[in-house]
Amino acid sequence: MDSRLMNAAIGCIVTIQIINFSVGLPLNCYIIKLLLSKGGGVDVSVVFVLNHTAAEIIYCLVAPLYIVCIISLELCVGPLLGLWIGTCMPARYLFQCWVCVERYMAVIHPVTFLRFKPIRYRVACAAVAWIWALAMGTTSMCTFPLLPYTAFGVLYLIIFLLDSFCCVMILKGLLRPGPGDREREDREMNAAKKKAFKVVCMNLLTFLIQTIPIVFSFGLQDILLPDHFHLAVAIGMTINIAAGFVHPIFVLHKAGKLSFIKC
């Protein structure tokens, strides 16, 4: 086993975890405060966003557990780290998927979307996501220090295909001219559609960047040598965590806190 490759893998993970803890944790905590600061209770449209942000906060707390294991194996609480990583990793993707499915239903099937608008349906979907994530976390706790990479890869691939389908259908729906647009000879999208089109394109691109390296690296477990495999996973996780900063930045921009960013 090449110690240089293992040290490089550890260095990548430790660096990005420290950045995620020191920057991502306060940023996502502020997002939670921002989303809950509106009067009249929790807005039904932000239920999945709230849970997604909560999953990001839990993921930020992986950093101290991971670094302790790097410093001293005697202080390392391996099963807890396995449970923590195994739960928050799929939770982030599951809630990102629910957000995308919610937008798909709103654009493509608006009647069905209105029928299932009450908050209880979103709470039920959120509960299913957390139970699924906790089940994967329990599996990771039992197999730690190894993680069920194949199971993660399959889950990520399914979510990737579902999200890609939803995003493509949303883009097609936005490109389709509405009743008022048909009267225009050039059939240009109105300002709202143009903005929605840009936002969905950005979300799809972010999701592709965030997902493809993880799915690809997890699928190499039985192909690469252990040191090469761990380095590939470390690079994939670094890209994944870095792309996760797009979510809080987008929420802040939507709330008008980043007016200098034009979208």
Q: What is the CATH number of the domain that holds 31?
A: 1.20.1070.10
Q: DSSP secondary-structure letter at 22?
A: I
In a domain, residue 129? The reply is yes
SS3 category, 183: helix
Q: Quick one: pLDDT at residue 187?
A: 47
Report which of residues 196 and 230 the model is more confident about. 230
Cα distance between residue 119 and residue 105, in whole Å:
15
Percent of the chain with pLDDT over 90: 10
In a domain, residue 19? The reply is yes
Cα distance between residue 169 and residue 254, in whole Å:
23
The whole-number average pLDDT for the span 44-51 is: 86
In a domain, residue 110? The reply is yes
**Maximum distance among all Cα pairs of the chain, rounded to whole angstroms:** 72
Cα distance between residue 18 and residue 23, in whole Å:
8
The whole-number average pLDDT for the span 205-229 is: 78
The boundaries of the domain holding residue 12 are: 3-254
Q: Quick one: pLDDT at residue 245?
A: 86
Cα distance between residue 56 and residue 12, in whole Å:
19
In a domain, residue 261? The reply is no
Evaluate the CA torsion angle 219, 223, 229, 235 in order and state its sign.
negative
In a domain, residue 262? The reply is no
| Cβ-based burial of 41 (10 A; exposed 0-12, middle 13-18, buried ≥19) | exposed
Closest of 9, 17, 15 to residue 63, by C-alpha: 17
In a domain, residue 210? The reply is yes
The whole-number average pLDDT for the span 48-61 is: 90
Percent of the chain with pLDDT over 70: 85
Residue 202 has pLDDT above 80, yes or no: no
Cα distance between residue 235 and residue 218, in whole Å:
11
Q: Tell me which of 34-38, 149-153, 176-180, 246-250 is least confident.
A: 176-180
Residue 159 has pLDDT above 80, yes or no: yes
Residue 196 has pLDDT above 70, yes or no: no
- Helices in the chain by DSSP H: which ranges? 3-19, 25-36, 47-60, 62-71, 78-108, 110-115, 119-143, 149-175, 191-218, 226-243, 246-254
Q: Omega of the bond prior to 213 within 30 degrees of 0, cis?
A: no
User: What domain count does the chain have?
Assistant: 1
